[in-house]
């Protein structure tokens, strides 16, 4: 490499790189929480709601899963102002990521919910459990345990997809890497370093999700 990566690239731009990491993680966390809540509502409508709402929820999922995130992002950021809704770049990114994630997670949740055998639901009814209690304890928790690996992979994929929001000027990690590259002209070194940064974030997130799985499912089942 033409210059020292640590001394001439990382240290002079450490502040903005760490700022980019922070923005990436905050944006990912907010979108995961909001997207999961929205996905749970959509999945419930698809499996438990009236026929009309089931059809609407299914259409929503198909629309989101069969259109690119970049297009959804540009519609939110550039399209909504045409009807009087103006959003900052971070807010537009949050909404687009949330909506995109909800479509995929809703489908994963639906598959998990429908994997629960009808006899378990009937057993809950026989015990006098209310519909809400059955959905939470008999259906949702076992379904979440079964689909947790797919969910955690989708969440990690979302974190990696935050790089797309750099197209509208959000100061996340990839956007900051482009800035550093424009100042140093060391494309290979910069993008190799950012690749390693994403790899570290991915490994860290996987460790967090493994810990959550142990706390939510394995530890509970052993007590």
Which SS3 state, helix, strand or coil, does residue 154 take? Answer: helix
How far is the C-alpha of 127 from the C-alpha of 119, rounded, in Å?
A: 12
Question: Which pLDDT value is given to residue 2?
Answer: 45
Instruction: Report yes or no: 3 and 189 within 8 Å, Cβ to Cβ.
Output: yes
Sorted by sequence, the CB contacts under 8 Å of residue 196 that are 6+ apart come out as none
Cβ–Cβ contacts within 10 Å for residue 62, how many?
A: 12
pLDDT tens track of the chain, all 223 residues?
Answer: 445 555 566 778 889 999 999 999 999 999 999 999 999 999 989 988 889 999 999 999 999 999 999 999 999 999 999 999 999 999 999 999 999 999 999 999 998 888 877 777 677 667 777 767 777 767 778 888 889 999 999 999 999 999 999 999 999 999 999 998 888 888 888 888 899 999 999 999 999 999 999 988 877 655 5
| Helical residues (DSSP H) of 115-167, grouped into ranges | 118-126, 131-133, 141-161
Sorted by sequence, the CB contacts under 8 Å of residue 137 that are 6+ apart come out as 124, 129
CA dihedral 66, 85, 77, 154 (to 10 degrees): -50
Half-sphere exposure of 193 (CA within 13 A, CB side): 24
Instruction: Report yes or no: 87 and 80 within 8 Å, Cβ to Cβ.
Output: yes
Question: Which pLDDT value is given to residue 1?
Answer: 47
Question: Which pLDDT value is given to residue 30?
Answer: 97
Instruction: Report yes or no: 211 and 148 within 8 Å, Cβ to Cβ.
Output: no
Residue ranges and CATH numbers for the domains of the chain are 5-222 (1.10.3720.10)
């Amino acid at each position: 490499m033409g210059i020292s990566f640590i001394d001439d690239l990382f240290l002079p731009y450490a502040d903005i790189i760490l700022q980019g990491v922070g923005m990436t993680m905050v944006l990912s966390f907010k979108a995961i929480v909001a997207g999961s809540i929205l996905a749970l509502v959509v999945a419930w409508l698809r499996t438990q709601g009236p026929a009309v709402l089931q059809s609407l929820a299914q259409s929503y999922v198909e629309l989101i899963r069969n259109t690119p995130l970049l297009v959804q992002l540009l519609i939110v950021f550039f399209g909504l102002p045409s009807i009087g809704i103006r959003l900052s770049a971070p807010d537009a990114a949050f909404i687009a990521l949330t909506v995109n994630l909800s479509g995929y997670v809703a489908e994963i949740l639906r598959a998990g919910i429908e994997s629960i055998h009808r006899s378990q639901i009937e057993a809950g009814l026989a015990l006098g459990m209310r519909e809400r209690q059955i959905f939470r304890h008999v259906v949702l928790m076992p379904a979440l345990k079964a689909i947790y690996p797919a969910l955690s992979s989708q969440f990690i994929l979302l974190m990696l997809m935050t790089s797309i929001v750099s197209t509208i000027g959000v100061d996340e990690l990839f956007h900051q890497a482009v800035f550093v590259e424009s100042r140093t002209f060391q494309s290979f070194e910069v993008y190799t370093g950012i690749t390693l940064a994403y790899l570290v974030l991915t490994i860290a997130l996987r460790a967090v999700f493994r810990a959550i799985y142990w706390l939510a499912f394995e530890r509970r089942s052993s007590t």
